[in-house]
């Protein structure tokens, strides 16, 4: 086993609060262990464009509390081709990088897994996405912050909904994952939740809302953007004629869910995962993701994490949410 000397670190895919805290942890753990660190700006695109920056302890001063990512992030089509990956490899070899730490979601890990196999370069993945949709970790970086941002918005919407007898459809992020929607629904006391992973007949939803109406001064339905009826506007259009006594409104929370200072939970998780990622490389491990399971740092092979699409949302949570909103 050849000892690694120089880590290339990047963030890729969707940005998530906590990425900066994680960058800080990787850089400082690596420096402590006598390694060099190069920050690769804009993910795989930066590898292709040679956007490389040597990092020291001061490069990551004062960033633990910042949302976004100081290394920037990007989506890169060219990296999906062998030609593109060859060019990326040549660039990082020329910079002396002999191992990679990738912070991102499943797309990022797919690229990292392929790249690592093709060019035999060690790589560790750190789950960074607000979607909380990766197998092998109870939480991904950014989910807790995004969930708290959403709940703050829903609390405000509840105030105005109650003041005017309004029926609100609130659309939250989640093209394929309903984690944010489910969490928001439970924590915000929603009357109904629509998830991408579940089929919801609109007739069922109407029945559910009819049961709630008359008893309540406000009704909130949380709609994940990727649910099958086409999002909050479409659902509201179909449902609103049944509830003419309500003033029906739609709010799309959009990108504000991605920004903001990371929560205490995300900062600690980011620090633990960044620290663990460097230690895994030092132990000679590769093609694994570091994650949190039962409050312990655990590793899962990238392959297993990518292939296992085990449904993360427990059915009992949906049932509980319905019961608690009667
Ligand atoms: P999020 O979950 O927040 O969207 P992500 O990491 O899944 O984050 P993607 O846009 O899916 O975001 O992937 C990030 C980048 O990973 C892509 O732009 C691409 O460069 C690379 N990538 C994704 N899939 C592949 C693949 N099959 N082969 C090579 N590279 C890939």
pLDDT digits (tens, 9 = 90+) for 51-70: 999 999 999 999 999 999 99
Quick one: fold of 6-142+262-307?
A: Rossmann fold (3.40.50)
Portions of the chain given CATH number 3.40.50.450: 6-142+262-307
Q: 247-252 and 166-172: which strand pairing?
A: parallel
- For 22, 197, 281, the CA distances from 26, given in Å and listed in that order, are 6, 34, 11
Long-range contacts formed by 185-189: CB under 8 A, 24+ apart:
185/222, 185/321, 186/317, 186/320, 186/321, 186/324, 187/147, 187/151, 187/154, 188/150, 188/151, 188/154, 188/155, 188/158, 188/220, 188/222, 189/158, 189/220, 189/324, 189/325
Q: How far apart are CA 7 and CA 162, in angstroms?
A: 53
Q: How far apart are CA 220 and CA 204, in angstroms?
A: 16
Residue with CA at minimum distance from ligand 1 atom 11: 107
Under 8 Å between Cβ of 7 and 279: no
Give the angle subtended at the CA of 179 by the CAs of 134 and 279, to the nearest 5°: 35
Q: How far is the CA of 119 from the centre of ligand 1 (A)?
A: 18
Give the angle subtended at the CA of 304 by the CAs of 302 and 306, to the nearest 5°: 65
pLDDT bin (cut points 50, 70, 90) of residue 309 is confident
Q: How far is the CA of 36 from the centre of ligand 1 (A)?
A: 26
What percent of the chain has a predicted confidence (pLDDT) above 90?
Answer: 82
Length of the chain: 326
Residue with CA at minimum distance from ligand 1 atom 24: 107
Pick 165 or 85 by higher pLDDT.
Answer: 85
Q: What is the CA radius of gyration of the chain?
A: 22
Active site residue 247: no
Residue with CA at minimum distance from ligand 1 atom 2: 105
Ranking 57-61, 206-210, 281-285, 296-300 by mean pLDDT, the lowest is: 206-210
Q: What is the pLDDT of residue 201?
A: 84
Phi, psi (rounded to 5 degrees) for 295: 60, 20
- Could you report the per-residue pLDDT of 77-118, keeping only the tens digit for each? 999 999 999 999 999 999 999 999 999 999 999 999 999 999
The two tokens of residue 43 are 């993910």
- Could you report the per-residue pLDDT of 214-272, keeping only the tens digit for each? 677 789 999 999 999 999 999 999 998 888 778 899 999 999 999 999 999 999 999 99
Portions of the chain given CATH number 3.40.50.460: 145-258
User: Ligand 1: residues whose CB is within 6 Å?
Assistant: 12-14, 44, 75-76, 79-80, 104-108, 110-111, 114, 129, 131
Catalytic residue (one of 15, 98, 131, 266): 131
Q: What is the pLDDT of residue 27?
A: 98
List the CATH code of the domain at 145-258: 3.40.50.460
Residues with Cβ < 8 Å from 112, sequence gap 6 or more?
Answer: 100, 102, 123, 125, 287, 302
Q: Which atom of ligand 1 is nearest to the CA of 130?
A: 3
Under 8 Å between Cβ of 151 and 206: no
Q: How far apart are CA 200 and CA 214, in angstroms?
A: 23
Pick the closest to residue 177 from 316, 313, 318, 322 (CA basis): 313
Q: What is the pLDDT of residue 312?
A: 63
pLDDT bin (cut points 50, 70, 90) of residue 1 is low
Q: How far apart are CA 40 and CA 298, in angstroms?
A: 26
Q: What is the pLDDT of residue 212?
A: 74
Alpha-helix residue ranges (DSSP H) falling in the chain: 19-32, 43-48, 82-94, 106-119, 143-164, 179-187, 202-212, 232-239, 264-282, 302-307, 315-324
Phi, psi (rounded to 5 degrees) for 304: -65, -45
Pocket test for ligand 1, best of 11, 14, 107 (most atoms within 8 A of CB): 107
Q: What is the mean pLDDT of residues 280-299?
A: 98
């Amino acid at each position: 086993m050849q000892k690694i000397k120089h880590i290339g670190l990047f963030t890729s895919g969707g940005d998530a609060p906590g990425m900066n805290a994680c960058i800080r942890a990787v850089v400082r753990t690596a420096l402590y262990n006598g390694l060099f660190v190069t920050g690769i700006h804009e993910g795989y695109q930066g590898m292709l464009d040679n956007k490389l920056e040597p990092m020291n302890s001061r490069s990551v001063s004062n960033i633990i509390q910042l949302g976004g990512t100081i290394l920037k992030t990007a989506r890169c089509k060219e990296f999906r081709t062998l030609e593109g990956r060859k060019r990326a490899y040549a660039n990082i070899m020329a910079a002396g990088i002999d191992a990679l730490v990738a912070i991102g979601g499943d797309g990022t890990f797919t690229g990292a897994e392929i790249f690592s196999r093709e060019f035999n370069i060690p790589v560790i993945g750190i789950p960074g996405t607000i979607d909380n949709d990766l197998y092998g970790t109870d939480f991904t970086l950014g989910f807790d912050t995004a969930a708290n941002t959403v709940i703050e918005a829903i609390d405000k919407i509840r105030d105005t909904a109650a003041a005017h007898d309004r029926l609100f459809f609130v659309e939250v992020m989640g093209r394929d994952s309903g984690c944010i929607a489910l969490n928001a629904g439970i924590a915000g006391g929603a009357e109904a939740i629509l998830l991408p992973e579940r089929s919801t007949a609109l007739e069922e939803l109407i029945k559910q809302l009819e049961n709630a109406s008359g008893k309540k001064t406000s009704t909130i339905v949380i709609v994940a953007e990727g649910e099958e009826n086409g999002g909050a506007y479409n659902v509201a259009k179909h449902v609103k004629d049944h509830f003419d006594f309500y003033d029906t409104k739609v709010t799309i929370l959009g990108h504000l869910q991605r920004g903001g200072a990371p929560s205490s939970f995300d900062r600690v998780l980011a620090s633990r995962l960044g620290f663990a990622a460097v230690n895994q490389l030092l132990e000679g491990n590769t093609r694994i993701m570091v994650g949190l399971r039962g409050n312990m740092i655990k590793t899962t092979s990238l392959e297993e994490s990518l292939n296992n699409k085990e449904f993360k949302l427990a059915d009992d949570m949906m049932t509980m949410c319905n019961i608690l909103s009667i």
